[in-house]
Amino acid sequence: MESWLFLALILVVALVGHNMSLIIATGVVMVLKLLPFASKWLPVIEAKGINWGVTVISVAILIPIATGRIGFNDLIKAFKSPAGWVAVAAGIAVAILSKYGVDQLAAVPQVTIALVLGTIIGVVAFKGIAAGPVIASGMTYLVVTLFNLHF
């Protein structure tokens, strides 16, 4: 029952904040919980969902290349500007932090609730996008490791 109340609270916050992504995500999870095979599939989605999501995001990122909107000239221009080099460094940092974030989510499940809360606050209060729980987990790992903090 607690999980239903928690999901309902998230749904209400998403509705109040007019965040369609979070509304859809919460609705999908609630519908999945109702299905008879939920106990079998929810753990699979939990384990593989991040990788599926990264794949969908990667497809979306590659579409401008496929449509010809972005080409080699754009790549060369990116390497000629300081902003391009910052973007490359940020991409590398995010990929590394995400690796540690995924590891931390598996090793320290308690961090998940804090990340969910932070993501909801960021999405609803600051009109952010809920695309960063893995990155947030990686950043958490970095700070926790640097300052020798523990959950």
- Residue range 8-51, pLDDT digits in tens: 988 988 888 787 888 999 999 999 999 998 889 899 988 888 77
Where do the domains of the chain lie? 71-150
Predicted local distance difference test score (pLDDT) of residue 68: 94
More confident residue, 105 or 75: 75
- Mean pLDDT computed over every residue of the chain: 83
Q: Note whether 11 and 30 are within 8 A (CB).
A: yes
Dihedrals φ, ψ of 35, to 5°?
-75, 150
Helix boundaries (H) for the chain: 2-16, 20-34, 38-66, 72-79, 82-107, 110-126, 133-146
d(CA 75, CA 87): 12
Cβ-proximal residues to 130 (8 Å cutoff; 6+ apart), any chain: 19, 21, 22, 25, 119, 120, 122, 123
More confident residue, 140 or 30: 30
